[in-house]
Amino acid sequence: MGYLEEARKRASRRKSAWNLLLIPVVLGTWAVMWYASVRAVGQLLRHTHPGLRFVLLPDSGGGTLIALGLLFAWLPLAMVVGNILVATIAPARRTLDREAQTVPGTDLVSANRGLLNVMLVVTPMGLLLAILGILAVSAPIR
């Protein structure tokens, strides 16, 4: 079975409106984590390079690498946190648990375990990209 067929099958199984709550919760968590880390890196760059003038990140290839790297780095963790936050709403948890009973491996613990496994690959790669961006900002081309 192809990916699109699997996605349609998963989508048809998820019928409750509680699933829609996951979208803004995950996106909001992701945005907050990304913004906080970008601000921290920006402050670090301001401290180590007082001559640089920028608003959030330097307007250069290095700044782009930092922004994209941190964006990818935080996605899996934001999804785990989003799952946990929605699960703290008792009616949502009951409904989502009931939907997950029919398909093994789709319960909260299994989903988060899978996301943590993804995080073991994606987060270090994103952080490496951000570090390369920091190095690019720190060592401008002459």
Instruction: Say if 115 falls within a structural domain.
Output: yes
pTM given for the model:
0.84
Instruction: Say if 88 falls within a structural domain.
Output: yes
Instruction: Say if 11 falls within a structural domain.
Output: no
How far is the C-alpha of 128 from the C-alpha of 79, rounded, in Å? 20
pLDDT tens for 20-46 read 999 999 999 999 999 999 999 999 999
4-18, 71-85, 107-121, range with the lowest pLDDT:
4-18
Number of structural domains found in the chain: 1
Residue 99 has what pLDDT?
87
pLDDT tens for 62-110 read 999 999 999 999 999 999 999 999 999 999 999 999 988 887 888 899 9
Could you tell me the residue range of the domain that residue 91 belongs to? 21-138
Instruction: Say if 13 falls within a structural domain.
Output: no
Instruction: Say if 8 falls within a structural domain.
Output: no
Instruction: Say if 10 falls within a structural domain.
Output: no
